[in-house]
Amino acid sequence: MGALSGIRVIDVGLLVQGPQAGQTLVDLGAEVIKVELPLMGDMARWIPISMEDLRTPYFEACNRGKRSITVDLRVPKGAEIFRKLVDSADVLLANFKPGTLEAWGLGYEELSESNPGLVYAMGSTFGPEGEGSQREGADLAGQAAGGLISTTGNDGEPPTPIGATIADHIGSMNMAVGILAALFARQSSGKGQRIDVSLLGGQIYAQASEYTAYLMTGQIPGRSNAGHPLLPMAYGILETANGYIALVGVLPDKRKEFYEAVGVPELIDDERFAPIIYTTEIRKSLFELLAPGFKKRTTEEWGQILDAMEVRYAPVNDYEQAANDNLVLENHYLVDLEDSSGNIKRVVGSPIKMSGTPSEASAEAPELGQHTEEILLELGYNWEEISELRETSAI
């Protein structure tokens, strides 16, 4: 029994922001019913690995363990089915353009009349208020408008996006947190509420320290330059004989041993590097002096040396290296599961570990409309009515 066992969620999300929030709730034990447009489904179903490999990683990653029903919310019969679904549920989540569900008569005010305990969670790109809030967007828009892209790379080089849908992911986590808080509040009030999150808001919050530095000083922190603009110390990426390693700071009492290991023992007497915090220019000089020594040993050798002196570090892994890291596997961040065909497949597991109500990953995502009849029968429709709904394209 998961922590959210007994909670029913209606998920009309698209791509990542909404669906990944729903995936988090599935992993924590909720029942999640995914509502999709007939014949089309979630747009994530149409983003294959390649034209030769039509498997869809975005859809599979964000929809495992859900049931899928196809319903056209734009037609009266479809909207009627949807209202029945929502009346049976604790949570509704979506990430349509603001105002879309309201235009179909399915806004919070309408749906909460018959289900006052409903938690109604909406995600958007730019937020629900203000000029421009109606613009559509996706992960790249959140990264760009929220300032994240301006921090990547090195001075003098063009900024580049993060190589993951990080704005969508943070938006989904904010949505999941809001849902859980609203469910907790409902225990005492008996009432649900509307929740709004956005990619833009999530990016601002994810960079709270950096934005706070700007608000305090009026100075933009700047680019990462293989480290972090607010952490000008021995903190950054260094090339090794066979890859790269992340050096996560060297405390003053570790410096002598560290400099000797790198082959630059004279730096312990260099007054430029005596402070705990350096200027950006001094940090750059330090890394230039450390670089030749680090290139003489492999990442693995440096790991052993830094472990012995208790200096924080991590190898810079690619996906293949991370996927075979014993820490990833032993903590079940990737797990091997059996799918409905009896095949073993490796999937991304939940990062949330709970001792009493453990999270549980699911092996596969549903086919489009796989559970339509099953769910309609649960709602009280009979087979004749289901046939009529198909004839009118409501499902």
CA distance 61 to 88: 26
Which listed residue (168, 307, 318, 339) is catalytic?
168
Q: Which residues fall within 8 angstroms of residue 328, CB to CB, at 6 or more apart?
A: 322, 334
CA distance 362 to 31: 12
Active site (annotated) includes residue 168: yes
Q: What is the DSSP string of 357-391?
A: S-----S-PPPTTTTHHHHHHHTT--HHHHHHHHH
CA distance 45 to 58: 8
DSSP state, residue 340? T
CA distance 168 to 170: 6
CA distance 105 to 100: 9
Amino acid identity, position 104: W
For residue 216 the two structure tokens come to 């305090």
CA distance 172 to 81: 26
Q: List Cβ<8 Å contacts ≥24 apart for 143-150.
A: 143/167, 143/203, 145/199, 145/200, 145/203, 146/199, 146/200, 146/202, 146/203, 146/204, 146/206, 146/207, 147/203, 147/204, 147/207, 147/211, 148/203, 148/206, 148/207, 150/220, 150/223
Name the residue among 139, 200, 198 with its Cα closest to residue 164.
139
Catalytic residues: 168
